[in-house]
Amino acid sequence: MTEITHHISEELLTAYAAGSLGQAFSVAVAAHVSLCLECRARLAAVEHVGGAVLDGLATQSVGGDLKAAVMAALDMPAPAEEATAPRRSGIYPGAVMAALKGRPPKWRALGAGIRQCIISEGPDGSLRLLYIPPGQAVPDHGHGGLEMTLVLQGSFHDETGQFGVGDIEIAAEELEHTPIAGQGLACICLAATDAPLRFRSWLPRLLQPVFRI
Amino acid sequence: MTDPTPRPLSLQTVWLLEVRDNRSRAAFAQLFDFYAPRLKGMLMRAGMRSNQAEDVVQEVMLSIWRKADQFDPARAQASAWIYRIARNRQIDMIRRENRPLPDALILDEEDSIDDAGQVLALDQEGAQLRAALARLAPEQRAVIEQAYMGELSHSEITAQTGLPLGTIKSRIRLALDRLRHDLRDLR
């Protein structure tokens, strides 16, 4: 296993721990942490600060019957849903499998051998998988807002560096980049944005307003 | 069997270990008295009304009781563990989708034995963290609370980098290095 060199920023880890990241970014962060021991430890450190903040927080008095209700419920069986979280399957961490609802990805051809599986899409962001054949370039694309790209198989490189399995690229809105898949295995990436998708196929940019791409 | 707990361990960690090892209702009641009003404060800061917040507090406290066997004081302080559980339950209940979580580390039996030295070190670090937070100027402390209580977006957190977080950042760094070291040993 190659060393992971591209990590998640302290700020994004804090936002994840605090619950202020949207669903798509949260999947990407949880998936990266699944693959990266360093970020697992850094997330634990962030949660320590969170715990210290919680301990020092101003209190809100709770109703007297709440404690009685909780104590009375201790012997009740746990709800079943807690045991059924999807687990890692092949190259896909549990958080990705959960987003896929436990099923394998359904790929759609985009042209030039590139495939895409849109997992979720909405005004607050999108989550999708990309499949890029070895050596293939993904044409220039900008993105509204922030984009996180996590490599799950193979590798890619672009103007900013080299990305292997477990590496995550955090690209700000300004970045116009041309990722090129490495040789060897096809590159499979998880891509999360906090803005609507800008490209879904190889249609020219000027058609974007018409086709919502 | 756990020996009588050494004095330096925080009360919260002692209570949670009592719940984990002996299923102690008395210790759980202590945890409830300490954390329920804080958790309610955390949830009301997130915009919940009082009765709604109490529903979530109930779920979080029950999760603490049910998941106590997963608590490892060599890896997390009680407060950090409870902070994480509270966030997970809160988001599961508010959003329709479950909160995405990292895969669990698969640990060997022998690895999960509490390391007394590590437990103590982590616990003392937690105490120093709390002290460092308490020493901050009120406005600095307010921003940190906002960030960790989920009141700031990630870009707002990024915009706060100029804040004097030196003490806290160094505490984080220490915890990080030790945890990372531990985790590497487990591989």
What is the per-residue pLDDT across B3-59, written as a single tens digit (0 to 9) for each? 554 557 889 999 999 999 999 999 999 999 999 999 999 999 988 899 999 999 999
Question: Domain A103-211 maps to which CATH number in 3.20.20.450, 3.30.750.24, 2.60.120.10, 1.10.357.10?
Answer: 2.60.120.10
Nearest chain B CA: its distance from A74 CA (Å):
7
Model confidence band, residue B166 (pLDDT cutoffs 50, 70, 90): low
What is the per-residue pLDDT across B69-105, written as a single tens digit (0 to 9) for each? 999 888 888 999 999 999 998 888 887 678 899 988 7
Task: At B67, list the tokens.
Answer: 């998941």
Question: Domain A10-97 maps to which CATH number in 1.10.10.1320, 3.10.129.10, 3.30.1490.480, 1.10.540.10?
Answer: 1.10.10.1320
What is the per-residue pLDDT across B108-117, written as a single tens digit (0 to 9) for each? 555 555 577 7
Inter-residue contact A65 to B22 (CB < 8 Å): no
Between helix A37-55 and helix B138-148 the angle, nearest 10°, is 120
Between helix A37-55 and helix B25-45 the angle, nearest 10°, is 90
Here the ipTM equals 0.86
Partners of A40 on chain B (C-beta within 8 Å) are: 102, 105, 179, 183
What is the per-residue pLDDT across B24-34, written as a single tens digit (0 to 9) for each? 999 999 999 99
- Looking at the DSSP bridge assignments, the partners of residue A148 are A170, A192
CB burial readout B23-54, b (16+ within 10 A) else e:
ebeebbebbbebbbbbbbbbbbbbebeeeebb
CB atoms closer than 10 angstroms to residue B55: 13
Does A94 contact chain B (CB < 8 Å)? yes
- What is the radius of gyration, based on Cα positions, of chain A? 20
DSSP of B58-100: HHHHHHHHHHGGG--TTT--HHHHHHHHHHHHHHHHHSSSPPP
Residue B27 CB contacts under 8 Å (≥ 6 apart), including other chains = B14, B15, B16, B18, B19
Domains of chain B (ranges; CATH) run: 11-186 (1.10.1740.10)
The residue extents of the domains of chain A are: 10-97, 103-211
Model confidence band, residue A134 (pLDDT cutoffs 50, 70, 90): very high
Give the pairing of strands A161-163 and A156-158: antiparallel
Nearest to B80 among A48, A57, A74 (CB): A48
Q: Note which residues in 12-41 of chain A have CB less than 8 A from chain B.
A: 12, 14-15, 17-21, 23, 25-27, 29-31, 33-34, 37-38, 40-41
